[in-house]
Amino acid sequence: MMSDSKCILKVDHLSVAYDDTVVLKDVSFQIEQGTMTAIVGPNGAGKSTLVKAMLGLVPLVEGTIELTLDTKTVSAYGGAKTNNIYNHIAYVPQTSAVDWDYPITVFEVVLMGTYRRLGWFKRPGKRERDEATKALQTVGMLDYAQRSISQLSGGQQQRVFLARALVENQEVYLLDEPFKGIDKTTESVLVKIMKEMQSAGKTLLIVHHNLQTLETYFDQVLCVNRRLVGMGPVRDIVGSHILDETYSY
């Protein structure tokens, strides 16, 4: 963790419910700029819901989310929609949440990463197309630019959506299980790119399921099981009672 980092994301007493079922209760934590954080917990613990809450994709029952950028502070409050925060965070969803039969090419998917800053009525130009090309080159998918996304393997799908996130060029990146269902070679490629993003000052929060790679990939761990069980540097979390408690109920 960078000792001179500032707090870029603050979640305070956040609660989320679907209908009458509480999925997350009273979750509070802070994330420093330039860190790489794993979000871990058992199935159904609310990890993906936490990511969606930070993106503004689900309403908050209570609590606040505060994103502090160089030029502004963007806040969301319980009971309010948080789409304003969504506009400042890049998101890589689970591959299972994507319609891979949709008739669109790899290049078009990555180019979509420029749409938010362009707005509804301005079409991508040479600058945006060059950015998409560079991002595809970074993730090793340039040769697949004109291929339909329906023809991609799981690892190739993840590379494409990471390229789309790179084109967005945000300060904070939320990734929901990016290593799920991919081969070790692709995982190594993705981790290398994420480390380079971190070195450039980007902040990454990643829903992660493989506890054996925590010490290799991450600075800190956020343990969730419908509440925040614990959070801290990897060296303090791995092998501690916090992980056992996270997965014990």
Which helix (H) or strand (E) covers residue 217, if one does?
Answer: helix 214-217
| pLDDT confidence of residue 1 | 42
Q: What is the CA radius of gyration of the chain?
A: 18
Of 111, 137, 169, which one is at a domain's C-terminal end? 169
User: Does residue 78 share a domain with residue 161?
Assistant: no
User: Does residue 164 share a domain with residue 183?
Assistant: no
Residue at 93 is within a domain = no
110, two tokens: 């990555």
Residue at 157 is within a domain = yes
User: Does residue 62 share a domain with residue 29?
Assistant: yes
Residue at 70 is within a domain = yes
66, two tokens: 């505060």
Q: Is the pLDDT of residue 2 over 50?
A: no
User: Does residue 183 share a domain with residue 80?
Assistant: yes
Q: Is the pLDDT of residue 83 over 60?
A: no
Which helix (H) or strand (E) covers residue 197, if one does?
Answer: helix 184-199
| pLDDT confidence of residue 38 | 98
Share of the chain above pLDDT 90, in %: 72
**Least confident range of 102-106, 120-124, 185-189:** 120-124
| pLDDT confidence of residue 121 | 74
User: Does residue 103 share a domain with residue 133?
Assistant: yes
Average pLDDT over residues 103-113: 94
Going by their DSSP bridges, the two strands 203-207 and 172-176 should be labelled as parallel
Domain that holds residue 150: 98-169
Report pLDDT digits (tens) over 174-193: 999 999 989 999 999 999 99
Global pTM?
A: 0.91
Q: Is the pLDDT of residue 75 over 90?
A: no
User: Does residue 246 share a domain with residue 164?
Assistant: no
User: Does residue 43 share a domain with residue 136?
Assistant: no
Query: How high is the mean pLDDT of the chain?
Result: 90
166, two tokens: 């790179």
Of 124, 139, 169, which one is at a domain's C-terminal end? 169
Report pLDDT digits (tens) over 198-245: 999 999 999 999 999 999 999 999 999 999 999 999 999 998 999 999
Residue at 192 is within a domain = yes
User: Does residue 34 share a domain with residue 137?
Assistant: no
Of 169, 192, 210, which one is at a domain's C-terminal end? 169
User: Does residue 106 share a domain with residue 71?
Assistant: no
User: Does residue 50 share a domain with residue 5?
Assistant: yes
User: Does residue 249 share a domain with residue 190?
Assistant: yes
Q: What is the CATH number of the domain that holds 212?
A: 3.40.50.300
Q: 205: which DSSP letter?
A: E
User: Does residue 84 share a domain with residue 6?
Assistant: yes
**For the purposes of burial, counting CB atoms within 10 Å of the CB of 4, is it exposed (0-12), middle (13-18) or buried (19 or more)?**
exposed
Q: Is the pLDDT of residue 91 over 90?
A: yes
Report pLDDT digits (tens) over 147-168: 999 999 989 999 999 999 999 9
How many other CB atoms are found less than 10 A from the CB of residue 222? 27
Confidence of residue 47 (pLDDT cuts 50, 70, 90): very high
| pLDDT confidence of residue 3 | 46
| pLDDT confidence of residue 51 | 94
117 compared with 43, residue with greater pLDDT:
43
* Tally of domains within the chain: 2
**Least confident range of 120-124, 200-204, 244-248:** 120-124
Question: Do the beta carbons of residue 170 and residue 130 sit within 8 Å?
Answer: no
Q: Is the pLDDT of residue 138 over 80?
A: yes
